[in-house]
Structure 1
Amino acid sequence: MSKNLNNSLSTPAVEKSTGHTPSAPAPSHLPDSMIASVGLLPEGERLILFTRHSLRERSDGNGFASYQLPLTPKGRILAKSWGRWLAGHLPYSLDVDSISSPIGRCIDTAQLMQEGAGLRREITHQSLLVEPGSLVTEPEIANPIFKEIGVLNFINRFLQGNLEGTKNTYQGGLDLLSLFYQHQPQHGHLMLAVSHDTLLSAFLAVMFDRVEIDWNDWPKMMEGVFLWFDDKPFDQANAHFVWRGKIYTRPISALLDAHRKAGLHPSTLLLPPEVRLR
């Protein structure tokens, strides 16, 4: 990311990770960062892979990708081979239901990754993994702006709180964290959460407390963040995540404080039902 880390973000002790680096070659076209991240994963956690879908057909020159665009043949091969690789080289079971954006290329990515792992599990469509949902609340306002200024400027204006028709920045990040928290698999399992570049880039920027990103920060197709939580109530837990070969920890309480300081009430958040914030 393009700015220095804020004080509420830290890297945990090295002993949290297994330090294993699988020797098998990575699937063709997989972003290099994914294998670097795999080598830092802990063992025995309730792991989530929040990933962008696999390789798709090209979008227009302004970054607008129709929801009708499918995976390419190479993208289908990549998703399946990545699922096979994860199942064969991680100390985690992928035998768990997945969650996905309801858009075809995301569902196909999840299904192909399951097939590569030798599985056929349920794939639940989640509205928070697509737009409108996680960031956009009023598409009739936000969509014309998106098409006018392009995807990167759109995300940066969202991060700066200067974009009509969208949620508060921290609300968007907290809603996604709550979704993942409520869908954690059992210990020693890895759940897939397949979405789009806009949501993943905005989520990571919130986790890093950024108000601006650039194209170097942008997630590639089939690039994702590994995520897990402490075994604590949502509002008391840390969110640990591995992105591009580095481990980070973000206290959820820090995000809740930032949301509160923005003058917003906790009732606007999609929190787990057992959380009762004043």
Structure 2
Amino acid sequence: MTNTTDPNRASSFLDVHSRHSPSTPAPAHLPDSMMSSVGVLPDDKRLILFTRHSLRERSDGNGFASYQLPLTPRGRVLAKAWGRWLSGHLPYSLDVDSLSSPIGRCIDTAMLMQQGAGLSRSIIHQSLLVEPGSLVTDPDIANPIFKEIGVLNFINRFLQNNLDGTKNPYQGGLDILSLFYQHQPQPGHMLLAVSHDTLLSAFLAVMLDFVEIDWNDWPKMMEGVFLWFDDGDFESVNANLIWRGEHYIRPVSRLLENYSATGFDSDKLLLPPEVKWD
């Protein structure tokens, strides 16, 4: 990755929080990074797992994945097994309504993870977890560019604020962060939010101050980031993220300042209703 500043990494996090290292092996085909992240999770937070959907059918060679592509049989088994594993090995209850992209493979991932955990909660279809939504504002402009340059170049141009038909990158990141802030579960519970690789990759890059990523940074199917917020108002809290076993802290105020510096109006942001920021 190429970054503009070093992200605020909490290097002492491992020294002060308990590790979760159960002996039961991870589900087959789960990305290795998820167990690295599980091993450093804190206890009793309002935890959110923002994840890419499980294994799906193949897309075309340019990274264009039709919204009609379903989960594979192996992907269905993985989603259910991952939900069962999380429910059985973390000190967190998954007994929370889930958020999901309205696309079938994401809904199915959430449903199967709930089933694996022995639950049947509502799955709330969230337009910010699909496109157009968090990144794209005008698909008639953005979609042809996507098909021409491919998904990785598309995300990098988005991150560099050099892509017509899309939001400012800080706006996209803040909108998703605000969504999660407003749907925080109770302490000791974990909210599941299922989306797509483009949104997850862009969100992570914005949160970690990266302006360019490569395929090594790309989230795999069923790979996700754990996050929670410190107590406080949205505009003054820290967002904590655990991605691939590393803990990062991002002050929301800094993201708001970066967005403001681009010259965009605050009324474009989907902030919590109680936030008064200009």
1:222 equivalenced with 2:222 (yes/no): yes
TM-score of the superposition, structure 2-length normalised?
0.98
Cross-structure match for 2:213 = 213
2:256 matched to which residue of 1?
256
How far off its partner does 1:193 sit? Answer: 0.2
Q: 3-state SS of the aligned residue for 2:228? A: strand
Q: Tell me: CA distance 1:51–1:262, structure 2 relative to 1, closer, same or farther (3 Å).
A: same
Match of 1:9 in 2: 8
- Give the secondary-structure state (helix, strand or coil) at the position aligned to 2:256: helix
The 1-side partners of 2:81 and 2:139 are apart by: 35
Whether the aligned pair in 2 keeps the contact of 1:9 and 1:251 (CA below 8 Å) is: no
Is the partner of 2:112 in helix, strand or coil? helix
Name the TM-score, length of structure 1 as normaliser: 0.98
Letter aligned with residue 203 of structure 2:
F
> What's the secondary structure of 2:212's corresponding residue?
coil
CA distance in 1 between partners of 2:17 and 2:99 (Å): 25
- Partner Cα distance (1:266, 1:12) in 2: 33
SS in 2 for 1:211: strand
1:244 and 2:253 correspond: no
Distance 1:16 1:252, change over 3 A: farther
Unaligned runs of 5+ in 2: none
Q: Say which SS state the counterpart of residue 242 (structure 1) adopts.
A: strand
| C-alpha distance in 2 between matches for 1:92 and 1:57 | 31
Structure 1 equivalent of residue 171 of structure 2: 171
Query: In 1, distance between residues paired with 2:239 and 2:265?
Result: 22
Other structure's SS at 2:210 match: coil
Q: Which residue of 2 is the match for residue 37 of structure 1?
A: 37
Q: Distance in 1 between matches of 2:11 and 2:277?
A: 27
Q: Tell me the CA shift for residue 266 of structure 1.
A: 1.0
Asked whether the equivalents of residues 7 and 248 of structure 2 are also in contact (C-alpha less than 8 Å), the reply is no
1:82 aligned residue? 82
Deviations 1:142-201 (A, max 9, x none): 000000000000000000111000000100000000000000000000010000000000
% same residue? 73
- CA distance in 1: counterparts of 2:73 and 2:184, whole angstroms: 31
Question: AA paired with 2:52?
Answer: R
Tell me by how many angstroms 1:46 deviates.
0.2
Residue 231 of structure 1 pairs with residue 231 of structure 2: yes
CA contact (8 A) 2:173 2:203 kept: yes
The residue number in structure 2 matching 1:48 is: 48
Q: After superposition, give the CA deviation of every residue in 1:97-127 in whole Å (9 maximum; x if it has no partner).
A: 0000000000000000000000000000000
Contact 1:238 1:249 in 2 (8 A): yes
2:191 matches 1:191? yes
Q: Aligned equivalents of 1:267 and 1:187: distance in 2?
A: 31
The amino acid of 1:247's aligned partner reads H
Instruction: Give the length in aligned residue pairs.
Output: 277
Name the aligned partner's letter for residue 77 of structure 2: I
Is the 2:3–2:211 contact (alpha carbons within 8 Å) kept by the matching residues of 1?
A: no
Deviations 1:252-272 (A, max 9, x none): 001000000000111110000
**Runs of at least 4 residues of structure 1 off by over 3 A?**
none
Secondary structure in structure 1 of the residue aligned to 2:135? coil
CA contact (8 A) 1:110 1:194 kept: yes
1:8–1:251 Cα contact (<8 Å) kept: no
Quote the residue 1:97 is aligned against.
97
**Letter paired with 2:10:** T
- 1:8 deviates by 5.6
Deviations 1:76-107 (A, max 9, x none): 00000000000000000000000000000000
Provide the C-alpha distance between the structure 2 equivalents of 1:99 and 1:172, rounded to a whole number of angstroms: 17
Runs of at least 5 residues in structure 1 that lack an aligned partner in the other structure: none
Cα distance in 2 for residues equivalent to 1:135 and 1:242: 22
Aligned CA-pair RMSD:
1.0
List per-residue Cα deviations over 1:192-244 (Å, max 9, x = no partner).
00000000000000011111100000000000000000111000000001000
The 10-residue stretch of structure 1 (125-134 or 4-13) with the greater mean CA deviation from structure 2: 4-13
Which residue identity lines up with residue 79 of structure 1 in the other structure?
A
Q: 1:20 offset after TM fit, Å?
A: 2.2
